[in-house]
Structure 1
Amino acid sequence: MSLLVQRSDVSEFRRRFRWIALGMVVGFMVLVSRLFYLQILEADENKAIARENIVRRVTLATTRGIIRDKNGKVLAASRPSYNVYVVPRRLDMETTWPKLVEYLGVGIEERARLEALITSIRADDGPRKNQQILLKEDISRDAVATLATHDAELPGVDVVPVPVRYYPYEEVGSHVLGYMAEVDAERLASLRSVGYIEGDRIGVTGIERAWESYLRGTRGWEKVLVDAKGRRRSGGDGIIEEPRRVDPIPGRDLRLTLDADIQKAIDKAMRGELAGGVAVVDVRTGRILGLYSKPGYNPNALSGGSGKQVIRDAFRRLYSDPLKPALDKTLSGAYPPGSTFKPFTALAALEKGLIDPRQSTRCRGALTFGKRTFRCTHVHGPVAMQKAIAESCNVYFYKLAAEYGVGMDVIAEMGQRYGLGARTGLGINAEAGGRMPTRAWMTLRNKGQFRLGFGLNAAIGQGATTVTVLQLALAYAALANGGTLYQPQIVRAVETSAGTVVQEFTPRVRRQIDIRPENLTLVHRAMVAGVNEEGGTAFKARVAGVEMAGKTGTAQVSHRLTRGVEAERVWYFNREHAWF
């Protein structure tokens, strides 16, 4: 009996042992399969994950190209600025964060805002919590030194040197150079594919915008070894894959056609004016030596070097000023040219053979045409063409339109030949086209009615006729050089940071204007007389020892009340604007 019980226990033990052994074999096979999957099939991916935990890729900022004038004087460059970046996932909010805000001197409100930002990123499942985000920009040198001293206590925190745009001439030439701003989310969506990331700055206006692709450069990167707390460690051979570093490529430098000394001289000459625009063009090449719009703005404040609050304050002042400092008055504003248009009216009459330049007409101070009286500046008496241009007699040009067949179409055609009423294509800012009105255009504008008085206004550059400052400067350059209308040029060469010329731009002719030399000579003599002979409207502007020719002009404006303007400045908006 006892033998039977013993055999039954042994049988049960053996059966259980077999099940245990089978379970162990199955478990071992599962373990081996899993190890095979992880170390053989998924080896590359797991190695990459492990490497990511100890290898960090740090962005190396590039240097934006320098903008210089024709003589090599710096107009826009980059100065060193230090920004603080953090990786939200690696930032210890209990120990590291309080120390960081203390070292940076962050205020209570700013601290709360930054904490909310970091917390929201850490709670998100997206990739941003593992990426560097900009915490504070352009910190002081003292703060940089403090963070460097306590670097071991600040895992996940990096101080990155970043160049900030600097404009040494401040408001002088601000519209030409433009300014930079941080890329917003809407633009970033389309620019990310070409290398822009959050926090990048991009040219918004002027040369900074138009030549952005040349100036911006390409950022680099470097792989570094870090410990579990995010602190950098030396070494990394055999762990960090090649390439370990890609150096940033600096942006190209630009050499402009502008002359900084001319820009400063213009600024000095314009100190007595509230607003205006000046263009100085080399008549032999079409290169722009000076381009100045007043009032301007300080691009240093707008480009972010002093923080976002300074940017907001600057923009608020910029767009609340009724003098419109954001408007480039040399390109974006179109104005009646007034009497500066008279040489073109005279050329139109001469080229069509409608007038004998030696024939005189009498100016009695006004011309009555229909029910309207068209006035002159004063009584000129007998005037021929040269005196009419030199002393700016309106009546002479009224009579060209009223009695000699120099109509709107004839006048508009001559203006268009000299590039008036059409964009110049400079490309640095939004450009107004201006207007050379024709008879058909005026008829359409006035609901099918055309009055001959429209032509009288057009003959003296008034009415619907408008031009930009740059258009008129280029047209006068073509008058001076014998009929060559140049394409305006603002950039002379693209250079490397070492000064090697990569690309040089030669003058480009827009068109050769076919004008009979004898007619051009007549207009030249009249413009010389306007500056150098007593009685000429520009006689007081002559400079001893300098050969000069020119034409003044004063365009009338409608008098109106101007909202938002201080009482002592209302006169300015109702004054007649002057040209020379």
Structure 2
Amino acid sequence: MSKKTQTPEPTQRRFSRRGVLLLGLQLALVGTLAWRMRQLQVVEADKYRLLAEENRINLRLIPPARGLIFDRNGEPLAINQQNYRIVIVREQARDVEDVLNRLAQIVEISPERRERVLRDVASRAAFVPVAVLEHMTWEDFARVSANAPALPGISPEVGLSRHYPHGPEFAHLVGYVGPVSDWDLSQIEDPDPLLQIPDFQIGKSGVERRHEDTLRGQAGTSRIEVNAVGRVIRELDRAEGRSGADMQLTIDYGLQAYALSRMGEESAAATVMDVHTGELLALASAPSFDPNNFVFGISQRDWDRLNSDDHRPMYNKTVSGAYPPGSTFKMIVALAAIELGLVDPEEEIFCNGSMMLGNQRFHCWRRGGHGHMNLRDSIKHSCDIYYYDIAQRIGMDRLTAFANKFGLGIRPDLPLPAVAAGLTPTRGWKAAVRGEAWQGGDTLNSGIGQGFMLASPVQLAIMTARLATGRAVEATLLRSIDGRLIQPQPAPPLEVSERGLRAVRDGMFAVSNERRGTAYSSRIADAEMILAGKTGTSQVRRISEAERRAGVFRNEDLPWNRRDHALFVGYAPYDDPKYAVSVVVEHGGSGSAAAAPIARDILMRALYGGLPPLEAYPPALREEIEEQRRSIPASSTAPPRSAGSGRA
């Protein structure tokens, strides 16, 4: 008879507690999992859905079309043109070198370009396209497109790139664009995300640089579905951006082209300005360069050539150049003396060729002197002694204040980089900057536009426009932005007496229209287009007493970079002024021989709206002018087309 085994009561109680504990733990785990699942699927669902979406979908920026730039008559100066290019994708090409060899049998690929492509392909992901050729001709592009099936990995593409249809004629004004550099990014406090796009281009000089934000526009966006390794699957949707604003300059293309052509091989600058509105019709700096060479990166050889040229083709001489104004400053000295009551226009000052100040002798440009000179004759003959005398009477600080009134020493407000302020010195300036006391000789030198005096060609044009009108005309370069016309503000009067202005203008008339005037040979024969002007010659070296005793070297006998600068300023017509002109020819020698003829021709081109008739020139010059015109491009002599602007 069997006996039933019984578990002791304490043991049963222990197993029951363990079971309850285990069940509790299981319930707690299940509850925790349930709570977490609810947290993930309900409470944080949006968060994780967004993260998953971000892993699957990329947001890409679409570069906007850059704003166009036109001249005052609607002539395009900077446009966006189709860029025919070829790209290669490594994973599709497999053997990149073999594909490039096949491509080279269809279009030319330089060894340097081939090496760059192989380097770029190796450094990027296999599915990222790399540009092989840019700016292809339509014929080459079509040939590659026709042979694309036999070129694995090769894709013909069409995009937009900046182009400057008139090349060197507007290089200094319009400027050029180029790829964004690290330095560019370091200069911007909060860079636009567009600037991070590979090969995106921004303005590097000229209006392109100063109005970068206006011309750039706003980016569009594209939502792209990608796989786990970042390869594009499809585009889900797209929002187009906003193109940059178009801009219209006050410059006249034909006049600008003519001015550059007329200066030829000289290192020179020419400015033409509407004396009433301040609109700049020409800002030509010679020699120039082709901005198209910079769009996709200039070669080292071309860059070195431009930088080693002693005529400085990269330098915008019209606004950045600062030159001693020489005798073109004498009108300001004369006007200051009249306004301050220190000289009467009919008062005569005797010039014997030199004057002493302390133990230092100051010379007139004419060794034997000019004799007795009143104000009108002093301007006509450009007598230095006359201006030494009245500059002493005025004093430097008062003379500087008067020069500032006519725009000298004041930086013009123009949308261009590196606009020079020039220099109109004072006693305090010399003490602060040079640590030296002002000398009486400094005042004398300043009285003839030498010494520390500096002015840019555009400042000299502003000065001349103010002399012609008696108003504080300001230079302006922008005519409209995005179709909105910019109306110049009426210029206030200068608060200078008509008597003084009339006396100075009369002297400028004599310079160009009376025999023995320093610019008589550059006069305009048309009685309705009479030119009033002033020549100037500014020294770039000091002439010693020993050289004066032995005979001063002629400019033609000196090395080019030691010759004097040649200057001319003027306006026309004399009785009803329309345009002011200034010309500076670096190391040109004489203002009357080098600068005045160029200024006259450019001013006549502005007045007539095309080439003036030969009858407008003095009879003795007509044969020379006719010969000169054969070398001038037809595009610069044609009258302007109808005004207007629009996207090209």
Pairwise TM-score range, normalised by the shorter structure: 0.7 to 0.9
Which digits, 9 at most, give the CA deviation of each residue in 1:311-338, with x for residues without a partner?
4333221212222222211111211100
Match of residue 378 from structure 2 = 388
Partner of 2:270, secondary structure, is strand
1:78-227 correspondence runs (5 A)? 78-84=80-86, 91-92=90-91, 95=94, 97-98=96-97, 100-102=99-101, 104-105=103-104, 106=109, 110-122=113-125, 134=131, 136-141=133-138, 142-143=140-141, 145-147=143-145, 150=148, 154=152, 159-188=156-185, 190=188, 192-196=191-195, 197-222=197-222
CA displacement at 1:63 relative to structure 2: 2.4
Deviates more, 1:450-459 or 1:93-102: 93-102
Match of residue 603 from structure 2 = none
How many angstroms apart in 2 are the aligned matches of 1:178 and 1:512?
Answer: 34
Q: 1:335 to 1:47 in 2, by over 3 A?
A: closer
Q: 1:102 to 1:59 in 2, by over 3 A?
A: farther
Which digits, 9 at most, give the CA deviation of each residue in 1:448-504, with x for residues without a partner?
44321111111111111111111111011111111x223321110013xxxxx2x22
Contact (CA 8 Å) 1:366, 1:374: kept in 2 or not? yes
How many angstroms apart in 2 are the aligned matches of 1:446 and 1:138?
Answer: 53
Q: Which amino acid in 1 is paired with 2:402?
A: M
Q: 1:39 to 1:266 in 2, by over 3 A?
A: same
1:473-484 correspondence runs (5 A)? 473-482=461-470, 484=471
CA displacement at 1:571 relative to structure 2: 2.2
Q: 1:576 to 1:113 in 2, by over 3 A?
A: closer
How many angstroms apart in 2 are the aligned matches of 1:313 and 1:452?
Answer: 50
Contact (CA 8 Å) 1:69, 1:258: kept in 2 or not? yes
How many angstroms apart in 1 are the aligned matches of 2:276 and 2:530?
Answer: 16
Q: 1:39 to 1:139 in 2, by over 3 A?
A: farther
Q: Is residue 2:513 matched to residue 1:526?
A: no
Q: Is residue 2:323 matched to residue 1:335?
A: yes
Contact (CA 8 Å) 1:281, 1:289: kept in 2 or not? yes
Structure 2 counterpart of 1:551, from 519, 526, 534 = 534
Q: Which amino acid in 2 is paired with 1:68?
A: F
Match of residue 279 from structure 1 = 271
CA displacement at 1:520 relative to structure 2: 1.2
Q: 1:77 to 1:113 in 2, by over 3 A?
A: closer
CA displacement at 1:36 relative to structure 2: 10
Match of residue 68 from structure 2 = 66
Match of residue 479 from structure 2 = 492
Structure 1 counterpart of 2:363, from 365, 375, 378 = 375
Structure 2 counterpart of 1:452, from 424, 440, 458 = 440
How many angstroms apart in 1 are the aligned matches of 2:82 and 2:460?
Answer: 41
CA displacement at 1:109 relative to structure 2: 5.8
CA displacement at 1:523 relative to structure 2: 1.0
Match of residue 300 from structure 1 = 292
Partner of 2:83, secondary structure, is strand
Structure 2 counterpart of 1:417, from 394, 402, 405 = 405
Which digits, 9 at most, give the CA deviation of each residue in 1:262-320, with x for residues without a partner?
112212321152x011111100011101101112111111222xxx4x44333221212
Q: 1:361 to 1:229 in 2, by over 3 A?
A: closer
Partner of 2:451, secondary structure, is coil
Contact (CA 8 Å) 1:60, 1:219: kept in 2 or not? yes
Q: Is residue 2:251 matched to residue 1:251?
A: no
Q: Which amino acid in 2 is paired with 1:261?
A: G
Q: Which amino acid in 1 is paired with 2:66?
A: R
Which digits, 9 at most, give the CA deviation of each residue in 1:137-161, with x for residues without a partner?
3345434653575369756x65442
Match of residue 641 from structure 2 = none
Contact (CA 8 Å) 2:74, 2:248: kept in 1 or not? yes
Q: Is residue 2:496 matched to residue 1:515?
A: yes
Give the TM-score normalised by structure 1.
Answer: 0.78
Which digits, 9 at most, give the CA deviation of each residue in 1:200-238, with x for residues without a partner?
1111111111111222233435567899999999xx8xx
Q: Is residue 2:491 matched to residue 1:504?
A: no
Contact (CA 8 Å) 2:167, 2:291: kept in 1 or not? yes
Partner of 1:507, secondary structure, is coil
Deviates more, 1:436-445 or 1:515-524: 436-445
How many angstroms apart in 2 are the aligned matches of 1:228 and 1:380?
Answer: 90
Structure 2 counterpart of 1:472, from 441, 460, 472 = 460
How many angstroms apart in 1 are the aligned matches of 2:273 and 2:357?
Answer: 39
RMSD: 3.7
Structure 2 counterpart of 1:437, from 414, 425, 432 = 425
CA displacement at 1:96 relative to structure 2: 6.1
Q: 1:152 to 1:170 in 2, by over 3 A?
A: same
Q: Which amino acid in 1 is paired with 2:240?
A: D
Contact (CA 8 Å) 1:339, 1:460: kept in 2 or not? yes
Match of residue 23 from structure 2 = none
Contact (CA 8 Å) 1:554, 1:576: kept in 2 or not? yes
Q: Which amino acid in 1 is paired with 2:472?
A: L
Contact (CA 8 Å) 2:121, 2:130: kept in 1 or not? no
Gaps of at least 5 residues in structure 2 are: 1-29, 544-555, 569-648
Q: Which amino acid in 1 is paired with 2:533?
A: G
Partner of 1:485, secondary structure, is coil
Contact (CA 8 Å) 1:171, 1:297: kept in 2 or not? yes
Contact (CA 8 Å) 1:345, 1:411: kept in 2 or not? yes
Contact (CA 8 Å) 1:361, 1:396: kept in 2 or not? yes
Give the TM-score normalised by structure 2.
Answer: 0.70
Contact (CA 8 Å) 2:141, 2:156: kept in 1 or not? no
Partner of 1:552, secondary structure, is strand
Contact (CA 8 Å) 1:178, 1:203: kept in 2 or not? yes
Which digits, 9 at most, give the CA deviation of each residue in 1:83-106, with x for residues without a partner?
44567xxx4177263565345435
How many angstroms apart in 2 are the aligned matches of 1:346 and 1:490?
Answer: 30
How many angstroms apart in 1 are the aligned matches of 2:250 and 2:563?
Answer: 33
How many angstroms apart in 1 are the aligned matches of 2:97 and 2:124?
Answer: 18
Match of residue 536 from structure 1 = 517
Partner of 1:362, secondary structure, is strand
Contact (CA 8 Å) 2:468, 2:505: kept in 1 or not? yes
Partner of 2:505, secondary structure, is helix
Match of residue 406 from structure 1 = 394
How many angstroms apart in 2 are the aligned matches of 1:569 and 1:535?
Answer: 25
How many angstroms apart in 2 are the aligned matches of 1:58 and 1:451?
Answer: 66
Q: Is residue 2:343 matched to residue 1:355?
A: yes
Partner of 1:319, secondary structure, is helix
